Amino acid sequence: MPNDSKINFVFFGTSEEAVYALEALEVGGFMPRLIVTAPDKPAGRHLALTAPLAKKWALGRQIPVFQPEKLDPNAIQFIAEQKTDIFVVVGYGKILPKNLLELPKGKTINIHPSLLPLYRGPAPIEGPILDGAGATGVTLMMMDAEADHGPIILQEKYILNDTETTPELTKILFIRGGELLANILPDWLVGRMIPRAQDHTQATYTKKIKKEDGLVNLETDSDETLWRKFRAYSHWPRIFFFENSKRIIITKARLENEKFIIEKIIPEGGKEQIYKSN
């Protein structure tokens, strides 16, 4: 269906995931009226004040940016004054209060990178990789007061091929989510799409990933487990093992003939090098 450039929406997003979705919406002919994102923060070795990726994207297109420390009554009032049709939330990093979620007539839509109710929680990209799932997908959902809980508007399955890393799968799913949203926005806003409740009895949950999750045992972990963890944790925390009490990060590996083969490592205090097993 052709897009309607008159649709006004506020986009809440901060991270790389947000930029992937924004780029897909832009290709589809939709640009937000306002981008609500996190405040600038110190980053890098010199702790220079750095804008979030979504802000950089917005400024390059002359889109207004709002960076509240908190979504307090003053912030909500400012957002309400935009009088937009719908809110879109992707990788924002803050919980939206219920009175904000329900402000626009088209409610608030979230792009979630799994086939809800599967893989709710903070690690929906890593979860299917770690489980060796045959498929994952992307869900467009109406947000409600509970995390990853709202009614489903649209879903699309993505078949996994046992090679995707977390960064690769993140890009694939959020670009596709943005494309799907661009396709359905006009129909959604005129009531041609009916959301359906999630089957909460089928919900599965992911946990927040911690640095120590990257620890592997080359002696006892199976080759398949090592390969799954390598792909899932390839961005952070990366997988590592200890040798002579020194931490060694695995930076490049492959699965060949069902064997996990380490190609490159970074030894503690050193630089990346070819791995030579003992």
pLDDT, one tens digit for every residue, the chain (278 residues): 344 458 999 999 999 999 999 999 999 999 999 999 999 998 877 788 899 999 999 999 999 999 999 999 999 999 999 989 999 999 998 999 999 999 999 999 999 999 999 999 999 999 999 999 999 999 999 999 899 999 999 999 999 999 999 999 999 999 999 999 999 999 999 999 999 999 999 999 999 999 999 999 999 999 999 999 999 999 999 999 999 899 999 999 999 999 999 999 999 999 999 998 76
Same domain, 80 and 18: yes
CA distance 149 to 198: 7
Count of domains in the chain? 2
Same domain, 139 and 269: no
Task: State the DSSP H helix or E strand holding residue 225, giving kind and residue range, or none if neither.
Answer: helix 223-232
Residue 121 lies in a domain: yes
Q: At 198, phi and psi to the nearest 5?
A: -70, 150
Last residue of a domain, one of 151, 185, 202: 202
Q: What pLDDT is attached to residue 144? A: 93
Q: What pLDDT is attached to residue 1? A: 36
Q: What pLDDT is attached to residue 45? A: 77
Q: At 240, phi and psi to the nearest 5?
A: -150, 160
For strands 86-90 and 108-112, give the pairing: parallel
> By CB neighbour count within 10 A (0-12 exposed, 13-18 middle, 19+ buried), where does 129 fall?
buried
Q: What pLDDT is attached to residue 184? A: 96
Contact of 234 with 165, CB cutoff 8 Å? yes
Residue 3 lies in a domain: no
Beta bridge partners of 13: 90
Residue 91 lies in a domain: yes
Same domain, 196 and 222: no
Same domain, 254 and 197: no
Q: What pLDDT is attached to residue 179? A: 98
Global pTM reads 0.94
Beta bridge partners of 156: 138
Q: What pLDDT is attached to residue 9? A: 96
Domain that holds residue 147: 9-202
Residue 104 lies in a domain: yes
> By CB neighbour count within 10 A (0-12 exposed, 13-18 middle, 19+ buried), where does 148 fall?
buried
CA distance 266 to 239: 11
Q: If you search the block for the tokens 């897009």, which residue do you land on?
A: 3
Q: Which residues of 74-86 are buried (b: 16+ CB within 10 A; e: fewer)?
A: ebbeebeebebbb
Q: Which residues of 7-22 are buried (b: 16+ CB within 10 A; e: fewer)?
A: bbbbbbbbbbbbbbbb
Last residue of a domain, one of 147, 182, 202: 202
* The pair of three-digit structure tokens given for residue 175, joined into one six-digit string: 């670009």
Query: Can you give the CATH number for the domain in which 236 is found?
Result: 3.10.25.10
Length of the chain: 278
CA distance 47 to 33: 31
Q: What pLDDT is attached to residue 276? A: 86
Contact of 26 with 3, CB cutoff 8 Å? no
Same domain, 179 and 248: no
Contact of 114 with 159, CB cutoff 8 Å? no
> By CB neighbour count within 10 A (0-12 exposed, 13-18 middle, 19+ buried), where does 168 fall?
middle
Residue 1 lies in a domain: no
Residue 2 lies in a domain: no
Same domain, 114 and 171: yes
